[in-house]
Structure 1
Amino acid sequence: MNKTPIMERVRKNYIKRKTMLKTTFHGQTKIYRITGKDRVKFYESITVADIEALPVGSSTLSVFTNENGGIIDDTIICKHADSLYVVSNAGCADKDLAHIRAQLKAFQDKGGDVDLKIIDDHQLIAIQGPKAAQVVERLAEKDLRSLPFMDARNMTIKGIDVHVARSGYTGEDGFEISVPNKDAVEFTKLLLADPSVELAGLGARDSLRLEAGLCLYGNDLDETITPVEAGLTWTIGKRRRAEGGFLGAAKIQDQLKNGVSKRRIGLLIEGAPAREGVKIFSPSGELVGSITSGCPSPSIKKNIAMGYVANGFHKSGTQLEVEVRGRKNKAIVTKMPFTPAGYHKV
Structure 2
Amino acid sequence: MSDQDEFEEPETETLPLDAWHRRKGARMVPFAGYHMPIQFEGIVAEHNWTRQQAGLFDVSHMGQLLVTGEKAAEELEKLLPGAIASLKPGKVRYSLLVDENGGILDDLMVTNATPWIEGDEEAGSEGRWGEPAYYLVVNGATKWDDIGHLREFIDDEVTLTHMDEHALIALQGPNAATALNRVMRNVIDDMVFMESVTHDFGEWPLRITRSGYTGEDGFEISVPAEFAEALADRLCAEIEVRPIGLGARDSLRLEAGLPLYGHDITAETDPVSADLGFALTKRRREEGGWMGHDKVMKVLEDGPAQKRVGLAIEGRMPAREGALVYSGNEQVGRITSGGFSPTLERPIAMGYLDTALTAEGTELEVEVRNKRLPAKVASLPFVPHRYHRGK
Normalising to structure 1: TM-score of the pair?
A: 0.93
Partner of 1:304: 348
Quick one: which of 226, 238, 245 aligns to 1:194?
238
Unmatched runs of 5 consecutive residues or more in structure 1: none
- Rounded Cα–Cα distance in structure 2 between residues aligned with 1:173 and 1:135: 12
**Alpha-carbon shift at residue 11 of structure 1 (Å):** 3.5
Quick one: which of 64, 86, 92 aligns to 1:31?
64
SS in 1 for 2:357: coil
The answer to whether the aligner puts 1:184 opposite 2:217 as a matched pair is no
Listed as ranges, the matches of 1:98-113 within 5 Å are 98-104=148-154, 107-108=155-156, 113=157
Partner of 1:66: 99
Partner of 1:41: 74
Residue pair 1:139, 1:157 contacting (<8 A) in 2 also: no
- Rounded Cα–Cα distance in structure 1 between residues aligned with 2:189 and 2:323: 43
Moved more, 63-72 or 114-123: 114-123
Quick one: which of 281, 299, 307 aligns to 1:237?
281
Paired-residue identity, %: 39
Partner of 1:118: 162
SS in 2 for 1:320: strand
Partner of 2:13: none
The answer to whether the aligner puts 1:17 opposite 2:52 as a matched pair is yes
**Alpha-carbon shift at residue 23 of structure 1 (Å):** 1.8
Map Cα deviations across residues 4-36 of structure 1 (whole Å, 9 max, x no partner). Answer: 9x95324422332121000234x2x01111011
- Rounded Cα–Cα distance in structure 1 between residues aligned with 2:140 and 2:333: 29
Number of residue pairs the alignment of both structures matches? 333
- Rounded Cα–Cα distance in structure 2 between residues aligned with 1:93 and 1:344: 28
- Rounded Cα–Cα distance in structure 2 between residues aligned with 1:159 and 1:102: 36
- Report the structure number with the largest CA radius of gyration: 2
Which amino acid is 1:223 matched to? Answer: A
Residue pair 2:54, 2:172 contacting (<8 A) in 1 also: yes
Partner of 1:94: 144
SS in 2 for 1:317: coil
Residue pair 1:265, 1:306 contacting (<8 A) in 2 also: yes
Residue pair 2:97, 2:104 contacting (<8 A) in 1 also: yes
Map Cα deviations across residues 133-155 of structure 1 (whole Å, 9 max, x no partner). Answer: 01111111125332111100001
CA RMSD of aligned residues (A): 1.4
**Alpha-carbon shift at residue 158 of structure 1 (Å):** 3.9
Partner of 2:113: 80
Partner of 2:325: 280
**Alpha-carbon shift at residue 48 of structure 1 (Å):** 1.1
The answer to whether the aligner puts 1:8 opposite 2:43 as a matched pair is yes
The answer to whether the aligner puts 1:50 opposite 2:94 as a matched pair is no
Moved more, 66-75 or 51-60: 51-60
Residue pair 2:338, 2:349 contacting (<8 A) in 1 also: yes
Residue pair 1:140, 1:158 contacting (<8 A) in 2 also: no
- Rounded Cα–Cα distance in structure 2 between residues aligned with 1:11 and 1:169: 15
The answer to whether the aligner puts 1:142 opposite 2:196 as a matched pair is no
CA distance change for structure 1 residues 344 and 170 in 2, over 3 Å: closer, same or farther?
A: same
The answer to whether the aligner puts 1:336 opposite 2:380 as a matched pair is yes
SS in 2 for 1:306: strand
Residue pair 1:213, 1:338 contacting (<8 A) in 2 also: yes
- Rounded Cα–Cα distance in structure 1 between residues aligned with 2:202 and 2:239: 18
**Alpha-carbon shift at residue 114 of structure 1 (Å):** 1.1
SS in 1 for 2:291: coil
SS in 1 for 2:381: coil
CA distance change for structure 1 residues 11 and 121 in 2, over 3 Å: closer, same or farther?
A: closer
The answer to whether the aligner puts 1:133 opposite 2:133 as a matched pair is no
Runs of 4+ residues over 3 Å off in structure 1: none
Unmatched runs of 5 consecutive residues or more in structure 2: 1-38, 115-131
